[in-house]
Amino acid sequence: MSRRSTQAILAASLVTASCSQQVLDLSSVKWTVTSPNFTYISVPGKLPSQAHIDLYAAQVIGNPLFGLNDFNLRWIGDSNWTYTSESLNSLSKNSSSTWLLFNGLDTFSSIELCGKHVASTNNQFRQYYFEVSDILSSCQDPVLSINFGSATVIANATANEPGQETWPYSVEGLFEFPNRQFIRKEQNDFGWDWGPAFAPAGPWQPAYVIQLGAWSGYIRNTLIDVYREGQLNLLPPDQSKDWVLNASLDYMGSIPTDVVLNYVLQDSNNATILSGQLSNVTNHNNTITGGVVIPRDAVDLWWPVGMGPQTLYKLSLNVVGNGNSTIASVTKRMGFRTIILNELPISQAQLDQGIAPGNNWHFEINGHEFYAKGSNFIPPDPFWPTVTEARLRQLFESVVDGNQNMLRVWSSGAYSPDFMYDLADEMGIMLWSEFEFGDALYPVDQAFLDNVKEEVFYQVRRVNHHPSLAFWAGGNELENLELYLVNQSAPDQLDRYMAEYETLFLDTIAPIVFGQTRSISYSPSSTSNGWQELNFSLPQPITERYENVTPGSIYGDTDHYDYDSSHSFNFSTYPVGRFANEFGYHSMPSLQTWQQAVDPSDLHFNSSVITLRNHHYPSGGLNTSNYVNGSKGMGEMTIAAQRWYPVPNKRDPLANFSAWCQTTQIFQADYYSSQIQFYRRGSAMPERQLGSLYWQLEDQWQAPTWAGIEYDGRWKVLHYVAKDIYQPVIISPFLNVTSHDFEVWVISDLWSEISASVSLSWYDWSGNKLNVSNPSSAHVRVGAINATQVLSTNTNEILSDYDPANSILVMEVSAQGTRPNSKRTETFTHKNWFHADRLSNAKLVDPGLELSHSNSTSTFTVKATKGVAAWVWLDYPSGAVLNFDANSFWLLTGEEREVGYTVKSDTTGGKWIDGVTVRSLWDNTVP
Ligand SMILES: *[C@@H]1O[C@H](CO)[C@@H](O)[C@H](O)[C@H]1NC(C)=O
Ligand SMILES: *[C@@H]1O[C@H](CO)[C@@H](O)[C@H](O)[C@H]1NC(C)=O
Ligand SMILES: *[C@@H]1O[C@H](CO)[C@@H](O)[C@H](O)[C@H]1NC(C)=O
Ligand SMILES: *[C@@H]1O[C@H](CO)[C@@H](O)[C@H](O)[C@H]1NC(C)=O
Ligand SMILES: *[C@@H]1O[C@H](CO)[C@@H](O)[C@H](O)[C@H]1NC(C)=O
Ligand SMILES: *[C@@H]1O[C@H](CO)[C@@H](O)[C@H](O)[C@H]1NC(C)=O
């Protein structure tokens, strides 16, 4: 509490409020970056920024993402970096109070103004604000300087403090810089298996100097919580109730206690829907809070993409003092929706429908179950200040184009900026959000817990008004991995570490979430068996289930990685759960992407630079020549590619490298597609599976990773294949690889029944029709978010007259149905392909692909003139980023397909069109 707000309580009724405030945006002043370690370095700085960014801009260092600079630039992370402003001469001498406001400092900083120490900070994820009126009043030269300590040095020093906590086993130790679990900094800055380790430092978020007149306040954070009357987190609300809107404004400065809080709610045309005063207004501890009931019929609902409109409203909140003067105001764009994670026990009604006992684990939007389709989002760059809204918009357009409706914003990165939630609000992408803890157990000393409390309190309040906020999880892979590993390595100590885990994720974080919002569900770990008991009359309502499971019952969500590619495509190796929140396998990026990051001499599969950029498996420390771990990951990709597809063996070394990269991508996409179809069919199975989010949406550098979108936005095979298989209605083959029992299913995630026509035709690779004895057509109905079997047979029997290596089944479905919240009947079609033997054995023929481009329609046309073409791939040169409407599809002999495209960026002046090529899997069989 500032000294002035103490006076405010005494003097409120005597003073007429004034609104005067002056805001200096610290991005508008000149900064210099120096280091106490290297006195010869002095470069211009920016804000927001990090030292690596400014050193690169000044050409003191090369591109951090090039070659092995990940290793070469460790000296930056191991040093202090000081950001010093020019003299802030525009500051007023007459204000009543002056404040520094930092929305984020990465991470350990010592702040000085006018040569005087203001404060020190130690949490990248907190907002910090300091009153500096006294310092400024006696200051000749108002220079602000922020000295950032080395996070790697401080993490080590903290770990080595006497009495510091240790753990029997932690995945954390497998990565580059150690000890990140002791510090509140983006955890992947110290290394992850899909990214580099730079440990950057700097003022990574906007910062301001705020000057206020008497009785004036500056709103630094806002909480808006909207829920149905009576709603409790994690429980389905009554959708017939009115809305409760709670608003809470955190301010700096002095605002009289007896203020009024007015609100205006406007629709997207700026028409006022409702306005008035909030009730129950309080003003204490520099927070003004009030609430209002919004009649349910006054507003329209916000829906995720594909489920209805993304209706948004503008909420203005005005703090009004004596004499009707506005003291402070804030406007937020928000929406009306309920979203919960339903982990309730399976009901009798659900059992009667054939759902297996246990507990639910799925999301419900506005009272409806839905199938969550999407992927996991990682920090799109090792340096967050370079991530602009334009860049995220391009990425999110690919999310929507890819038929995805939910992203799991993986913890251990950074809390998402508001502009990311804003884009998701507009585009209808649900953001499963997480507190930034992952793959480690954390200290529980009071100082650490207090630091976390501030972080969680600030972040929960900051983003709660966004309708795209879908969920809060405590952290990544904690119960299913970290506690599991403790139990494996030191079972006698499990109780102690589980108690510490609960201290942080249940006793500390959960009450803050539930204390701030009634509208968002929380679970301590991304993957878990869910809660066993939920009791909101307790200070901490959640009792976790852990392994207290009943055999035959199904609980929780799944996380699945299996790098033994002999298991791939074998459904019995996939987990059966209610929701798949992570699964995957890595692949190479394209040749074009590698060309951005390595020298031409490194463009071959066994290049040491490429191997060392493969952080799967992570290096295990700071060793810069651990080829063994990188080679293991390279081996997994090549073994999988050879096991399942024709081996590329091109004479031209670059073409051969490119073909190998491509084949690893095909395996990846094929494997994910098989898993996604298995999970989606699970909506009709006892597990009632209602979500698949694959690992991972996008890359943060150019390297072999699990991503579907490369660093510059280029789609890998995976993103195209996921787009295809995430369509609302699909037709899917399921082969039991042991018994050769074979089934075909139609799967729909529409919210009402569809009626579908199916056709099934067998061909050989030349395109001749085979006379296989199974029905060639069927009509079926598929229920809401469900699946229907259309064929059940055995390939050994039906293909007894044919060579499986020369037999392919084309499956097509055409269905009439309506999208959720739409009355319009649409036709949904999908085509899928099944090969009875693995493609490495297939009797591929030259499909005689022909490619043409039409300037008038801006489309390419691909035709297979001689045979069946598998995995047809349109490739385009570097210099542009675009996505084709479809890619990596199959063509029957004589079939042609017109393919449109969307250009995202182009530095070739349109010349990329002349560089587009087409190939199919057959090309790998010719040198
Ligand atoms: C930079 O200076 C700090 C503080 O003296 C020291 O801990 C750190 O090791 C130095 N870093 C390098 C790279 O010399
Ligand atoms: C490095 O930064 C830390 C954190 O701000 C500070 O405590 C320390 O004094 C700094 N060291 C030097 C040499 O500037
Ligand atoms: C931190 O500790 C690790 C392992 O103990 C060591 O390899 C590394 O050099 C240390 N880092 C710094 C910056 O002192
Ligand atoms: C609504 O008002 C904002 C500014 O207050 C303006 O930028 C926007 O164009 C207006 N929208 C419409 C639809 O009039
Ligand atoms: C007052 O607000 C601060 C920061 O917003 C918070 O840390 C503190 O717990 C609050 N105190 C009370 C008594 O609510
Ligand atoms: C105001 O407070 C009263 C008493 O606690 C409560 O019944 C009412 O629901 C509150 N109104 C709003 C809009 O929150």
Summarize the confidence of residues 243-272 as an average pLDDT. Answer: 97
Nearest to 521 by CA among 717, 722, 237: 237
Q: Is 269 in the pocket of ligand 4 (CB under 6 A)?
A: yes
pLDDT of 111 reads: 99
pLDDT of 2 reads: 36
Out of 231, 241, 279, mutate this one to test ligand 6's pocket (max ligand atoms within 8 Å of CB): namely 279
Confidence band for 322, pLDDT divided at 50, 70 and 90: confident
Summarize the confidence of residues 553-563 as an average pLDDT. Answer: 98
Residues 793 and 875 placed together within one structural domain of the fold: no
pLDDT of 5 reads: 38
Nearest to 146 by CA among 199, 208, 81: 81
Question: Average per-residue pLDDT in the chain?
Answer: 96
Protein residues with CB under 6 Å of any ligand 2 atom: 36, 80, 108-110, 147, 149
Q: Is 147 in the pocket of ligand 1 (CB under 6 A)?
A: no
Nearest to 924 by CA among 651, 724, 701, 677: 651
User: Per residue in 355-366, pLDDT tens?
Assistant: 999 999 999 999
The C-alpha atoms of residue 580 and residue 249 are separated, in whole angstroms, by 38
pLDDT of 598 reads: 98
Confidence band for 200, pLDDT divided at 50, 70 and 90: very high
Could you tell me if residue 277 is inside a domain? Answer: no
893 residue type, one letter: T
Q: Is 37 in the pocket of ligand 1 (CB under 6 A)?
A: yes
pLDDT of 16 reads: 34
Out of 153, 158, 160, 622, mutate this one to test ligand 1's pocket (max ligand atoms within 8 Å of CB): namely 153
The torsion angles phi and psi of 404, rounded to 5 degrees, stand at: -100, 145
pLDDT of 173 reads: 82
Q: Which two tokens stand for residue 484?
A: 């599991």
Cα of 329 from ligand 2 centre, angstroms: 38
CB atoms within 10 A of CB 907: 10
Name the residue at shortest CA distance from atom 9 of ligand 3.
Answer: 622
At residue 532's C-alpha, the angle toward residues 488 and 554, to 5°, is 75
Residues 763 and 826 placed together within one structural domain of the fold: yes
Cα of 223 from ligand 6 centre, angstroms: 17
The C-alpha atoms of residue 687 and residue 681 are separated, in whole angstroms, by 10
The C-alpha atoms of residue 586 and residue 740 are separated, in whole angstroms, by 28
Q: Is 655 in the pocket of ligand 3 (CB under 6 A)?
A: no
Continuous segment of H or E residues that includes residue 673: helix 653-681
- Spatial CB neighbours of 313, under 8 Å, sequence gap ≥ 6: 265, 266, 267, 268, 273, 299, 333, 334, 335, 336
The C-alpha atoms of residue 564 and residue 198 are separated, in whole angstroms, by 31
Residue 17 reports pLDDT greater than 80: no
Residues 20 and 52 placed together within one structural domain of the fold: yes
Could you tell me if residue 422 is inside a domain? Answer: no
Final residue before a domain boundary, out of 843, 861, 893: 843
Residue 170 reports pLDDT greater than 90: no
Nearest to 345 by CA among 575, 558, 545, 547: 545
The C-alpha atoms of residue 337 and residue 300 are separated, in whole angstroms, by 9
Atom of ligand 6 nearest to the CA of 293: 13
Could you tell me if residue 78 is inside a domain? Answer: yes
Place of tokens 């420390």: 621
One-letter-per-residue 3-state SS of 251-313: EEECCCCCCEEEEEEECCCCCEEEEEECEEEEEECCEEEEEEEECHHHCCCECCCCCCCECCE
The C-alpha atoms of residue 334 and residue 323 are separated, in whole angstroms, by 30
Q: Are 294 and 274 in contact (CB under 8 A)?
A: yes
- Structural domains counted in the chain: 3
Could you tell me if residue 792 is inside a domain? Answer: yes
Q: Are 750 and 783 in contact (CB under 8 A)?
A: no
Cα of 497 from ligand 3 centre, angstroms: 25
The C-alpha atoms of residue 425 and residue 304 are separated, in whole angstroms, by 8
User: Per residue in 411-423, pLDDT tens?
Assistant: 999 999 999 999 9
Summarize the confidence of residues 872-891 as an average pLDDT. Answer: 98
pLDDT of 11 reads: 33
Summarize the confidence of residues 561-581 as an average pLDDT. Answer: 98
Give yes or no for a cis peptide into 646 (omega within 30° of 0). no
Domain of 892, CATH number, reads: 2.60.40.10
Q: Is 82 in the pocket of ligand 1 (CB under 6 A)?
A: no
Q: Which two tokens stand for residue 641?
A: 């590619």
Which of these is catalytic: 172, 369, 455, 477?
477
pLDDT of 20 reads: 80
Angle between helices 717-725 and 653-681 (to 10 degrees): 20
* Owning domain of residue 26: 3-210
Residues 193 and 80 placed together within one structural domain of the fold: yes
Give yes or no for a cis peptide into 32 (omega within 30° of 0). no
Buried b or exposed e, range 77-110, using 16+ CB within 10 angstroms: bebbbbbbbeebeebeeebbbbbbbbbbbbbbbb
CB atoms within 10 A of CB 9: 13
Name the residue at shortest CA distance from atom 1 of ligand 5.
Answer: 285
Is 477 an active-site residue?
Answer: yes
Q: Which two tokens stand for residue 438?
A: 């992952």
Cα of 317 from ligand 6 centre, angstroms: 18
User: Per residue in 812-833, pLDDT tens?
Assistant: 999 999 999 999 999 999 999 9
Name the residue at shortest CA distance from atom 12 of ligand 4.
Answer: 269
Helices (H), 585-626: 591-597, 608-613
User: Per residue in 688-737, pLDDT tens?
Assistant: 999 999 999 999 999 999 999 999 999 999 999 999 999 999 999 999 99
Residues 133 and 59 placed together within one structural domain of the fold: yes
The DSSP secondary-structure symbol of 358 reads B
pLDDT of 9 reads: 35
pLDDT of 509 reads: 98
Cα of 440 from ligand 1 centre, angstroms: 27
Domain of 167, CATH number, reads: 2.60.120.260
Cα of 281 from ligand 6 centre, angstroms: 10
Could you tell me if residue 96 is inside a domain? Answer: yes
Atom of ligand 6 nearest to the CA of 278: 13
Tell me if residue 552 falls in helix, strand or coil.
Answer: coil
Q: Give the CA diameter of the chain.
A: 98
Q: Is 150 in the pocket of ligand 1 (CB under 6 A)?
A: yes
Confidence band for 171, pLDDT divided at 50, 70 and 90: confident
Partners of 471 in the β-ladder: 432
With a pLDDT cut of 90, the percent of the chain lying above it is 96
Residue 10 reports pLDDT greater than 50: no
Name the residue at shortest CA distance from atom 12 of ligand 5.
Answer: 285
Residues 176 and 55 placed together within one structural domain of the fold: yes
Whole-angstrom CA distances from 337 to 228, 363, 370, 466, 469 are 9, 13, 14, 10, 10
Could you tell me if residue 132 is inside a domain? Answer: yes
pLDDT of 8 reads: 36
Could you tell me if residue 872 is inside a domain? Answer: yes
Q: Is 689 in the pocket of ligand 1 (CB under 6 A)?
A: no
CB half-sphere exposure, 255, CA atoms < 13 A: 30
Residues 856 and 792 placed together within one structural domain of the fold: no
Summarize the confidence of residues 259-265 as an average pLDDT. Answer: 98
The torsion angles phi and psi of 510, rounded to 5 degrees, stand at: -55, -45
pLDDT of 140 reads: 92
493: left (phi over 0), alpha (psi -120 to 50) or beta: alpha
Nearest to 267 by CA among 320, 310, 329: 310
Q: Is 178 in the pocket of ligand 3 (CB under 6 A)?
A: yes
Place of tokens 């402070």: 328
Cα of 112 from ligand 2 centre, angstroms: 12
User: Per residue in 100-115, pLDDT tens?
Assistant: 999 999 999 999 999 9
Name the residue at shortest CA distance from atom 4 of ligand 3.
Answer: 178
User: Per residue in 145-156, pLDDT tens?
Assistant: 999 999 999 999
Name the residue at shortest CA distance from atom 6 of ligand 2.
Answer: 149
The C-alpha atoms of residue 900 and residue 527 are separated, in whole angstroms, by 39
Provide the pairing of β-strand 81-85 with 108-113: unpaired
Residues written for the chain? 927
Cα of 877 from ligand 2 centre, angstroms: 47
The torsion angles phi and psi of 24, rounded to 5 degrees, stand at: -100, 115
Residues 76 and 7 placed together within one structural domain of the fold: yes
Name the residue at shortest CA distance from atom 13 of ligand 5.
Answer: 285
The C-alpha atoms of residue 798 and residue 790 are separated, in whole angstroms, by 16
Out of 285, 450, 456, 457, mutate this one to test ligand 5's pocket (max ligand atoms within 8 Å of CB): namely 285
Cα of 51 from ligand 2 centre, angstroms: 15
Name the residue at shortest CA distance from atom 1 of ligand 6.
Answer: 280
Q: Is 230 in the pocket of ligand 6 (CB under 6 A)?
A: no
Nearest to 317 by CA among 336, 290, 293, 341: 290
Tell me if residue 813 falls in helix, strand or coil.
Answer: strand
Confidence band for 323, pLDDT divided at 50, 70 and 90: confident
Q: Is 80 in the pocket of ligand 1 (CB under 6 A)?
A: yes
Name the residue at shortest CA distance from atom 10 of ligand 4.
Answer: 270
Give yes or no for a cis peptide into 696 (omega within 30° of 0). yes
Residue 1 reports pLDDT greater than 70: no
Partners of 821 in the β-ladder: none
| Sign of the four-CA dihedral 546, 547, 551, 557 | positive
Name the residue at shortest CA distance from atom 2 of ligand 5.
Answer: 285
Final residue before a domain boundary, out of 210, 228, 248: 210
Provide the pairing of β-strand 469-473 with 522-523: parallel
Q: Is 285 in the pocket of ligand 5 (CB under 6 A)?
A: yes
Summarize the confidence of residues 849-857 as an average pLDDT. Answer: 97
The C-alpha atoms of residue 799 and residue 862 are separated, in whole angstroms, by 31
pLDDT of 739 reads: 97
Cα of 215 from ligand 2 centre, angstroms: 37
Residues 47 and 146 placed together within one structural domain of the fold: yes
Residues 27 and 157 placed together within one structural domain of the fold: yes
At residue 620's C-alpha, the angle toward residues 619 and 621, to 5°, is 95
Residues 911 and 838 placed together within one structural domain of the fold: no
Residues 804 and 865 placed together within one structural domain of the fold: no
Could you tell me if residue 135 is inside a domain? Answer: yes
Q: Which two tokens stand for residue 27?
A: 């991005």
Q: Is 153 in the pocket of ligand 3 (CB under 6 A)?
A: yes
Nearest to 500 by CA among 433, 452, 432, 534: 452
Which ligand places an atom closest to the C-alpha of 75?
1
Cα of 227 from ligand 6 centre, angstroms: 14
Tell me if residue 211 falls in helix, strand or coil.
Answer: strand
Q: Which two tokens stand for residue 425?
A: 């609000």
Final residue before a domain boundary, out of 210, 245, 272: 210
CB half-sphere exposure, 402, CA atoms < 13 A: 31
Q: Is 271 in the pocket of ligand 4 (CB under 6 A)?
A: no
- Beta-strand ranges (E) seen in 564-611 are 579-584
The C-alpha atoms of residue 875 and residue 165 are separated, in whole angstroms, by 52
- Spatial CB neighbours of 659, under 8 Å, sequence gap ≥ 6: 648, 650, 923, 924
